Structure 1
């Protein structure tokens, strides 16, 4: 039985966040993608603490499609080592699960 997962990444460029989100849905790798409002990111880079403004992109997909989504995002992501976190989506309704499976089925389109 299929299951839903939420995958996420971050980027500092708003246009790139929108591009990745929209492209993943158009490619049928994600049933939906949400770009979270601008936030502040703190992280280490080359031995220095950095903070910068950024955007989190959440992808709703299936456990079966998440590896394909990850490979697709990595090809388009501006970072050498992008954040990639996958979380199970517990408690989803059967109707929503069916929709996500349908929307991410390769080559299939819903009305």
Structure 2
């Protein structure tokens, strides 16, 4: 399995999307993030079809950092069950993939 992932998250405001992105990038659990929107989402929720305006976040990370990224998103997100899905990156520019790895590496602790 590829060690590189694109993680998709949706939220209802641009402000919350920016808060999630800032926390993920600052914490180095995502190398970078983009916010797209507004978008229209149509989905089932609690037995009814919903239609909402949302913002889509795309974050780049590694498989090793995924659990930590999920924890950050859940801590910052207002939804009861936020969309958090990881999609493998099967290929790409080697330099870009290396950048993802470098920027999501845990920094050595300074004592």
**Length-normalised TM-score, structure 2:** 0.89
Where structure 2 has 5 or more consecutive residues not aligned to the other structure, the ranges are none
Decide which moves more: 90-99 or 31-40.
Answer: 90-99
Measured on the aligned residues, the alpha-carbon RMSD in Å equals 1.7
Measure how far apart 1:66 and its partner are: 1.0
How many residues are matched?
A: 108
Q: Give me the whole-angstrom Cα distance separating, in 2, the residues matched to 1:14 and 1:95.
A: 30
Q: What TM-score do you get using the length of structure 1 for normalisation?
A: 0.89
Instruction: Between 43-52 and 12-21, report the one with greater CA deviation.
Output: 43-52
Residue 86 of structure 2: aligned partner: 86
Post-superposition, which runs of at least 4 consecutive aligned residues in structure 1 deviate over 6 A? none
Are the equivalent residues in 2 in contact too, given 1:3–1:97 (CA < 8 A)?
A: no
Using the TM superposition, give the Cα deviation of residue 46 of structure 1 relative to its aligned residue in structure 2, in angstroms: 2.4
Aligned residue in 2 for 1:28: 28
Q: 1:40-92: per-residue Cα shift (whole Å, max 9, x none)?
A: 11122222211110001011001111111011111111111111111111112
User: Within 5 Å, which residues of 2 pair with 1:1-111?
Assistant: 3-107=3-107
